[in-house]
Amino acid sequence: MLKLIVSTLAFIRLTLAATIPQKPLAAVQDERLASPTSSTPLPLVVWHGLGDNYKADGLRSIGSLANSTNPGTYTYFIRLGDTPSADRTATFLGNLTEQVQKVCHDLSTHPILSRAPAINALGFSQGGQFLRAYVQRCNIPPVHTLVTFGSQHNGISEFQNCADDDWVCRSWDGYLKRNTWSNFVQSRLVPAQYYRDPEDLDGYLESSNFLADINNERDVKNANYKSNMKKLARFVMYMFSEDTTVVPKESAYFAEYNETSDEVTKLRDRRLYKEDWLGLKDLDGRGRLEFKIAEGGHMQLSEELLEDTFRRYFGANATKDEGRLGKNLGSTIIGA
């Protein structure tokens, strides 16, 4: 990942002169309730991760599995470029505020999705926090169930896990860290826009183009972000047990990791939860927030796990049966 970031960073320095303004979207509220009324599964919207593209074979096989598990499922793969190559590039380069705004427009005007009573949403890696931003900022059509795998809901504190003797990697990692809060990087380099260093929260809160806003961490809170999140029937977060790509891996649960003390502050112990900046405490109190474990490394997804996820959370019966919400299903972690 770092090699591509380095090469593309050099390219955009030469080609981009103007600074893209950093403006958080005003959240839009949709009064439709995210509750299906027929036996047909809700459409499934998938946002892929870093370095992937909407036409990748692996992603398409996931769509096929979703339909074979829940026949009749219409699957839509979010795209930020007209070609697979452009879409892949957009996972590294782009302004996330503008990218989320584009997805809001695409979904709200889609001939099928815009007419659905609600949609289900599946986010892989960084696609998970981007889909959450969609829920918070627009949510038209509304999301019924949001499932994320290995997402960086509380950001990343490392761009790349460099080996001790890899001085090229470590040098560029240092360069990116030193320039993370520049307007140039924050409006163009995607991973930098969800970078969060617990040792430099002042710089983060002042300059973050994306994460500080969607996590409602600034003094002025966006009430619509919380309101839209509270409309979810379920919010399911998977963390990969052996994840070394995402640092810290506990970010998948909104947990905070202190690198100095090696201590993890769980979501329920954070102000974000206690003061309910995002409605997570409300969802949790109603049994609609789930913490799950996926065994293995980052994005090592078995067909069995995906099939279970599709059946459990995206089937027509699952979306109508809210009486099961909050039960300890599978590898749910109760004390997260």
Whether 298 is catalytic is yes
Whether 125 is catalytic is yes
Three-class HEC string of the chain:
CHHHHHHHHHHHHHHCCCCCCCCCCCCCCCCCCCCCCCCCCCCEEEECCCCCCCCCHHHHHHHHHHHHHCCCCCEEECCCCCCHHHHHHHCCECCHHHHHHHHHHHHHHCCCHHHCCCEEEEEECHHHHHHHHHHHHCCCCCEEEEEEECCCCCCECCCCCCCCCCHHHHHHHHHHHHHCCCHHHHCCEHHHHHECCHHHHHHHHHHCCCHHHHCCCCCCCCHHHHHHHCCCCEEEEEEECCCCCCCCHHHHHCCEEECCCCEEECHHHCHHHHCCCCCHHHHHHCCCEEEEEECCCCCCCCHHHHHHHHHHHHCHHHHHCHHHCCCCCCCECCCC
* The one catalytic residue among 213, 243, 276, 284: 243
Whether 262 is catalytic is no
Contacts of 162 (CB under 8 A, 6+ apart): 2, 169, 170, 173
* The one catalytic residue among 48, 52, 87, 125: 125
* The one catalytic residue among 48, 144, 153, 298: 298
Q: Are 127 and 152 in contact (CB under 8 A)?
A: no
Q: Longest Cα pair distance anywhere in the chain, in angstroms?
A: 58
Instruction: List residues with catalytic annotation.
Output: 125, 243, 298
